[in-house]
Amino acid sequence: MAQGKGDISILCTQPRRVAATSVAERVSEEMAEPSIGKLVGYHIRLETRQSAETRLLFCTTGVILRRLVDDPTLNGVSHVIVDEVHERQWQIDVLLVSLRALVNGPRKDLRVVLMSATLDSELFCSFFRGAPFVSVPGRTFPVATYYLEDLLEATGHRIEEGSRCARREYRREETTTLSITTRGGEKRKQTVSLDSELTVELSDDFPAHGLATRRSMDVVDESVINFDLIEDLLRLILVNAETNDYFVCPDGADLSEGAVLIFLPGIGEIRSLTDQLEGSRSFGRRDAFDIVPMHSSLSSKEQKRAFRIPPKGCRKIIISTNVW
């Protein structure tokens, strides 16, 4: 790698811990390295696998920022690769400002590579004063988009008024005064309340869907995560696949294999769905389903479960946030 080329030391930043460790292991394997931590290593918070032989070090953005505090000129580093630069986290922005100051000042020999599949090339090229742009052709995969009403129609899931996933129905309190005559002929006035529930007429927003789906869409509270609907959808795709003629891959791929990735907002929602699926009759069998929670608060060992190949006949369900 560095033979005849002087001292090469490459830092490759990743925005998440699991990316730093998994990509390092993949690159090490493809370079036919006997083990991680030799020529290729990684450094994340509270964990590192590197040695004096390491020439390509994958690390999180926070780790390289910490190194800049102790070593402002990145002494000994020849190249810095900033991956997923389009995410524009505050750490990435601070790192880019620091790297620009270095290459325009004391480290004119430092080579900086910004990588992303979706970056605004003109923005970043101008930020680094006309840096060259290299486009590498890639490939895309067909994607089918389904909406909430499609899921309700396919699964037969119903949302009833008053359920946790339905909008609260507000009641208006009306009062009136009644004149009451008793048996003895005595008359008196009494104020009574009349509670009338606000009713919602069935809308015409989803004419292509069934009546039950339209009723559910009229009352659904889309801000509430419907774990029961997620379970029903998983059951349709993974358990009752023979009855599924609704969800079909655009490229004709076989849905009987592969993992399922579910994105949720945070660790609380991840734990709730994980507990529900593990306690379910359909998904509680460990020999048939490997349910893997993913979150930045989990250890590296727990996060690596997402990349483990399950036994034959076992489907993997990964429940994650979109920021690891």
Instruction: Please write the tens of the pLDDT for every residue from 86-133.
Output: 887 899 999 999 999 999 999 999 999 999 888 888 888 999 988 999
Indicate whether 14 and 123 sit together in one domain.
yes
- Whole-angstrom distance, CA of residue 95 vs CA of residue 127: 13
Residue 213 lies in a domain: no
Residue 212 lies in a domain: no
Ranges of residues in the chain with a pLDDT under 50 are 1-5, 170-172, 196-198
SS3 per-residue string spanning the chain: CCCCCCCCCEEEEECCHHHHHHHHHHHHHHCCCCCCCCCEEEEECCEEECCCCCCEEEEEHHHHHHHHHHCCCCCCCCEEEECCHHHCCHHHHHHHHHHHHHHCCCCCCCEEEECCCCCCHHHHHHHCCCCCCCCCCCCCCCCCCCCHHHHHHHHCCCCCCCCCCECCCCEEEEEEEEEEECCCCCEEEEEEEEEEECCCCCCCCCCCCCHHHHHHHHHECCCCCCHHHHHHHHHHHHHCHHHCCCCCCCCCCCCCCCCEEEECCCHHHHHHHHHHHHCCCCCCCCCCEEEEEECCCCCHHHHHHHHCCCCCCCEEEEEECCCC
Residue 183 has a pLDDT of 61
Instruction: Return the CATH number at 53.
Output: 3.40.50.300
The pTM of this model reads 0.67
Copy the structure tokens of residue 83.
């991956």
Residue 132 lies in a domain: no
**pLDDT tens sequence across 17-48:** 888 888 898 899 889 888 888 999 999 988 89
Residue 4 has a pLDDT of 41
| Half-sphere exposure (Cβ direction) of 186: Cα atoms closer than 13 Å | 4
Domain hosting residue 246, numbered range: 225-320
Residue 220 lies in a domain: no
Number of domains in the chain: 2
Residue 139 has a pLDDT of 79
Query: Which of 93, 127, 161 represents a domain boundary (last residue)?
Result: 127
CB under 8 A, 24+ apart: contacts of 143-150 = 143/250, 144/247, 144/248, 144/249, 144/250, 146/247, 148/217, 148/220, 148/222, 149/206, 149/209, 149/213, 149/217, 150/246
Residue 82 lies in a domain: yes
Copy the structure tokens of residue 6.
């002087």
Residue 170 has a pLDDT of 43
- Whole-angstrom distance, CA of residue 310 vs CA of residue 160: 38
Residue 198 lies in a domain: no
Q: Which residues contact 149 (CB under 8 A, 6 or more apart)?
A: 206, 209, 213, 217
Residue 284 has a pLDDT of 86
Query: Which of 68, 99, 127 represents a domain boundary (last residue)?
Result: 127
- Whole-angstrom distance, CA of residue 291 vs CA of residue 263: 13
